[in-house]
Amino acid sequence: MDKTEEIHTPENENAHKTYKPVERIWTARLVISSFFGALGSSYLYGYNLSVVNAPSSYVKAFYNQTWIERYDHPIEAGSLTILWSVTVSIFAVGGLFGAVGVHLLVKYVGRKGTLLLNNAFAVIASLLLALGELAGSFEMLILGRFIIGIDSGIALSALPMYLGEISPKQIRGSIGQFNSIFICVGVFTGQVLGLPELLGQESHWNFLFGFIMLPALVQLFVLPFLPESPRYLLMEKQDSIGAKKAFQAFLGKDDVSEEMDEVHAELRAQNTLQLISIMGLFRDRSVRWQIITVIVTMACYQLCGLNAIWFYTNSILKEAGFANELIPYITLSTGGIETLAAVLSGLVIERVGRRQLLIAGFGAMTVCYGVLTIFLNFQSTVSWMPYLSFTSILAVIASFCIGPGGIPFILTGELFEQSYRPAAFMIAGTVNWLSNFAVGLFFPFIQEAFGNYCFLAFAIICLGGAIYLYIILPETKNKTFVEISQCFSKINKVSFCSPAEEEMQCIPAVKMMEKEEQTGTLNEDGKNGIETESSF
């Protein structure tokens, strides 16, 4: 008895919990799969967000020259603006198409297979964008932007799904942040290569778009040698041998019975083995608030205004009073801050939690937008005020990247069990790209109508998002997918456990209950008294 009591002291339990993750969870195969998975996916999305800024004047000149060669007169200023706006915004239209189609791709070719297939879109888009000038066709550039948008739409759904399913629950957030980190690195790379000393020249701007092919080819050659999602193999393909090998590869150990049991438990907890359709997801009462949460979070991700800053960085800096020749170099600091903040978020997410980082990020953005509005209104009267305006912009970017920048994609994968996940990512992707398109389309009009007060609209959205998440969202760190679903049972007004879930819980728990009976840790009802963490 003394020996048993000594084993169950809080100190020893804490020591055991601390020891286990450090020894076994992070493996080379897991990191390599996350790295190369993100390199040809989210990295390209980030790169294509920023790469159009530097060569914009040269691309417009090419459009005008092509128009003269075809019609013997220069293009009208309004028509040129429309062509350029279509070139920029059609990226989001392509993203929407990709997000809608990803549901079928991940079902039939798998998570890894979808990432591999997606490289074809990147290669084709790169060729169209790089060779459009040589062919004298601005239509090729527009088509190339549309196709690379499809690539990004697929990537931003398939990659978070893949990362969430290959990672242990203890580091699922950190692995998921590879998506956000590589978006930021991609943005920064586009800014660096767009400098006048590199590819941001009239004679080299097409190489900026040709660069898109390189990460895609690297992923195409490396990813086939890395494992598929073990959850996909076991739950959707019923390939237990392949799933076991994938778990062994990702976790770096031979005994993966615990992980296999967890997936089998989730499989038994589901009402159906078939993938749920979009309409089925909306009709299912047990996931109602998960859907609402994903829609709100993903809408705030785009409507919080960061893409408005990326799309119109140069004009914002000009209005802030910076010289034109300095703007490309000043812009580098925004990409650097974004990357550092994303890395910091990946380091602390398993300690702080998703919920806290999201609320803090949106809350800080609200404050920064308010301060930025004040500075913008006084910068014409105070000589040093533009520097404070730019500092506020950096603070907005850092606040976004440390929380809202990557966590919405992680949450989409965590809030739903396997059969719901593809449909959930399709909904999240659709909201993401529609919101992206709306910001690019309407922000110039908002800026023209409200002037320096335009960012207050984004502040209101950020504040609303923070309040919603504070009230609704439970913490999801270090929880299984079944446990996360159970956290929403109260607000969804459904029973805590379905019959299938009760069966799932009873079978693995027999040995644990026998041990607890011996040590006297059961309560009066015969339950272990452990409560699922929730904000409800």
Domains in the chain and their CATH numbers?
25-226 (1.20.1250.20), 282-517 (1.20.1250.20)
Whether the CB-CB separation of 486 and 497 falls below 8 Å is answered with yes
Whether the CB-CB separation of 452 and 245 falls below 8 Å is answered with no
Whether the CB-CB separation of 58 and 208 falls below 8 Å is answered with no
Concatenate the DSSP letters of all residues of 336-401 into one string: HHHHHHHHHHHHHHHHH-HHHHHHHHHHHHHHHHHHHHHHHHHTTTSTTHHHHHHHHHHHHHHHHH
Instruction: Find the distance separating the first CA and the last CA of the chain, reported in whole Å.
Output: 38
b (16+ CB within 10 A) / e for 236-268: beebeebbbbbbbbbbeeeebeebbebbbbbbb
Whether the CB-CB separation of 115 and 40 falls below 8 Å is answered with yes
In angstroms, rounded to a whole number, what is the distance separating the alpha carbons of residues 266 and 243? 14
Helices in 8-137 by DSSP H: which ranges?
A: 10-24, 28-39, 42-50, 56-71, 77-108, 110-135
Q: What angle do CA 350, 352, 358 make, to 5 degrees?
A: 105
Q: What are the Cα distances from residue 509, in Å, to 67, 265, 483? A: 72, 11, 14
Q: What is the DSSP letter of 488?
A: T
- Length of the chain (residues): 536
Per-residue pLDDT of the chain (536 residues; tens, 9 = 90+): 444 444 444 444 444 444 444 445 788 899 999 999 999 999 999 999 888 878 888 888 888 888 888 888 888 888 888 888 888 888 989 999 999 989 889 888 999 999 999 999 999 999 999 998 888 888 999 999 999 999 999 999 999 999 998 988 888 889 999 999 999 999 899 989 988 888 878 788 889 999 999 999 999 999 999 999 998 898 888 888 998 999 889 888 888 888 888 888 777 766 555 777 788 888 888 888 999 999 999 999 989 888 767 655 666 677 666 777 787 788 788 888 989 999 999 999 999 999 999 999 999 999 999 998 888 887 777 777 777 888 888 899 999 999 898 899 999 988 888 788 888 999 999 999 998 888 877 777 777 788 778 888 899 999 999 999 999 999 988 888 888 888 888 888 776 554 344 444 433 433 443 344 444 444 444 334 333 333 33
In angstroms, rounded to a whole number, what is the distance separating the alpha carbons of residues 249 and 27? 9
Whole-model pTM: value is: 0.82
Q: What is the DSSP letter of 114?
A: H
Single-letter code of the amino acid located at 409: F
* HSE, side-chain direction, 13 A CA sphere, residue 67: 14
In angstroms, rounded to a whole number, what is the distance separating the alpha carbons of residues 520 and 92? 59
In angstroms, rounded to a whole number, what is the distance separating the alpha carbons of residues 126 and 215? 11
Within 8 A by CB and 6+ apart from 351, the residues are none
Helix (H, G, I), strand (E, B) or coil at 3: helix
